[in-house]
Homo-oligomer: A and B are copies of this chain.
Amino acid sequence: ELPEWGLDQRKLYRHFVFPTFIEAWGFMSEVALLAETQNHHPEWTNVYGRVEIYLTTHDAGGISERDFRLARAIDLL
């Protein structure tokens, strides 16, 4: 599962590239609502149309099922 995601710094990692900031921001807004709904939040960076997402579970000291769940939800956007 999650073929689009890799490992970076021991975190689940995926990046997205959109043509414009507006589109990147729209995507980020969807992710923000998912994150708040799941009460599990990404570490993420945005530069114009580029969005980089890192998922880890600090309480678990690494990647947990909560990260996989959020990643799967992001993939369904």
Contact = CB atoms under 8 A, between A and B. Distances in A.
Q: Give the interface size class of chain A.
A: 10 to 19
**How many monomers of this chain does the complex have?**
2
Contacts of A35: 21
A18 to B, nearest CB: 12
Contact of A48 (B21, B41, B48): B41
A58 to B, nearest CB: 9
A21 B45 contact: no
B46 A22 contact: no
Interface in A1-52: 21-22, 25, 29, 32, 35-36, 41-48
Contacts of A22: 36
